[in-house]
Amino acid sequence: MTDPSSSAHPGRLATTLSYYGAFIGLGLVLASLGPTLPGLAELTGAPLNALSSIFVARSAGYLTGVLLGGRFFDRYAGNALMAGMLSLMAICMALVPLSPSILPLIALLYALGFGEGSVDAGGNTLLVWLYPTGLGPWMNGLHFAFGIGSFIGPLIIAEILAREGSVMSAYWVLAALLVPFILFVGSLRSPQIADHVDSHAETISEHRFTIILVAALLFSAVGIEVGYGNWIYTYAVTLELASPESAAGLTSAYWGAFTVGRLLGIPLAARTPPPAILLLCFAGTIVASVAILLYPESVTVLWVCTCLAGLAVAPMFATVVSLAERRMPISGRVTGWFFVGSSAGGMSIPFIIGQLFEPVSPAWTFNIVLAVVFVGLVVLVIFNRYATEDTRG
């Protein structure tokens, strides 16, 4: 791999910060859907089980974005691509509240997901190229930046809804907040494309099983993260455990704990092996979900366990990517295949929860989360036993 040291890339720190800014913007956008779900249902006249199809559209767009975007980052200037995809996200956010029915909304969420997937795959790939050694803390820092955006986004939405009651204003403000990040990342020099990108076909062939396992781990990580984060608001309101304003605060508490967890993940990644971190994450998620199921009427348990879940979920994604980087060389195309798993998790888990939420019981939110945790644990055991070792010198 080409060593993108500070001499080869003089603005490495500024470039790193620009990626962190892009991921703050990504977090702002990704965390916006849950608190605005009832408002979007009102605007489009669609019931919640029908509106859950927008999760599928968004994740399908994300899947397309990580696959195509990953290949683009292997060929073209990464920072310019990042700025372009952030611009696409801003345009889609501005248009979402103008959708008169669910079909235009589905189309916009697909395009929004495409931008999100491209930014996600690109940011992770470019950071790996910037830091060929000592990646763990920097990668956790990148996803800590995402957590900052995820925490701020629901707070902004809650404040706007409290003052104006307008979903439209909330989306327009978030779209405007992306502009500084677009200008920052677009103004800087892109990292040099890694040498091993030219042999990505051989890399994929040699490490195919490892890629599948990493994708499965990311399926679990993202499925848990967005399944919990996107439905906790509606869960609390439906069971009358919180008012709409308080439920928005609960969502922010989840993403706030998520942000703290990402911050704690930085020193943790420097001292603890990735498999051990993942075990801690799964254990915390199990405790939080089981406690909510055992005490469904307790507001205190809901708040405490929501925060615990946010802390537990937070380090998962960056830890899986760091784990993969230890086992094989990373290119944009490889990252894209990794994120097929995360896209599948983000697409299927919220959708499944939505299909069971009203017809069966809101409690199935946490039953589904526990099932996904079990899948992740099984995959982690298989990964530790059978994944290929990195053959780079």
pLDDT per residue over 101-116, tens digit each? 888 889 999 999 999 9
- Residue linked to tokens 């801003």: 90
- Confidence band for 291, pLDDT divided at 50, 70 and 90: very high
Q: Give the confidence band of 278 by pLDDT, cuts at 50, 70, 90.
A: very high
**Better-scored residue on pLDDT, 347 or 391:** 347
CA dist 138 and 19 (Å) reads: 11
- pLDDT band, residue 7 (cuts 50/70/90): very low
User: Is 252 a residue whose pLDDT tops 80?
Assistant: no
Band (pLDDT 50/70/90 cuts) for residue 5 is very low
User: In terms of Cα–Cα distance, which of 317, 310, 322 is closest to 343?
Assistant: 317
The pLDDT, as a whole number, for residue 202 is 56
CA 307 to CA 292: how far, in whole Å?
A: 12
**What's 197's DSSP letter?**
G
Instruction: Give the DSSP per-residue string, 70-120.
Output: HHHHTTS-HHHHHHHHHHHHHHHHHHGGG-SSHHHHHHHHHHHHHHHHHHH
Which range of 7-16, 191-200, 286-295 scores highest in mean pLDDT? It is 286-295
**CB-based burial of residue 306 (10 Å sphere; 0-12 exposed, 13-18 middle, 19+ buried)?**
buried
Q: Which helix (H) or strand (E) holds 378?
A: helix 364-386
Per-residue confidence (pLDDT) for residue 48, from 0 to 100: 65
H-assigned helices in the chain: 12-30, 33-44, 48-51, 53-73, 78-95, 102-130, 135-164, 167-186, 200-206, 208-238, 244-271, 274-294, 299-313, 316-327, 332-357, 364-386
Amino acid (one-letter) located at 122 = G
Pick the most confident of 5-9, 75-79, 119-123, 179-183.
Answer: 179-183
* Cβ contact 93:171 at 8 Å: yes
Least confident of 41-50, 90-99, 235-244: 41-50
The residue type at 389: E
Q: What is the pLDDT of residues 66-89, one digit of tens each?
A: 888 777 787 778 889 999 999 999
Q: How confident is the model at residue 201 (pLDDT cuts 50, 70, 90)?
A: low
Q: What is the pLDDT of residue 269?
A: 81
State how far the Cα of 186 lies from the Cα of 180, in Å rounded to an integer: 10
Percent of the chain with pLDDT over 90: 26
Handedness of CA 258, 260, 262, 264 (dihedral sign): negative
Residue 143 has pLDDT above 70, yes or no: yes
- Mean pLDDT value across residues 323-349: 78
CB 79 within 8 A of CB 131: no
Q: What pTM was estimated for this model as a whole?
A: 0.69
What integer pLDDT is reported at residue 204 of this predicted model? 64
Per-residue model confidence (pLDDT) at position 312: 93
Structure-token pair, residue 265: 């993940």
Topology adopted by domain 12-386 = Growth Hormone; Chain: A; (1.20.1250)
DSSP 195: G
- pLDDT range class, residue 387, cuts 50, 70, 90: low
Residue 392: per-residue pLDDT: 42
Average pLDDT value for residue range 177-200: 76
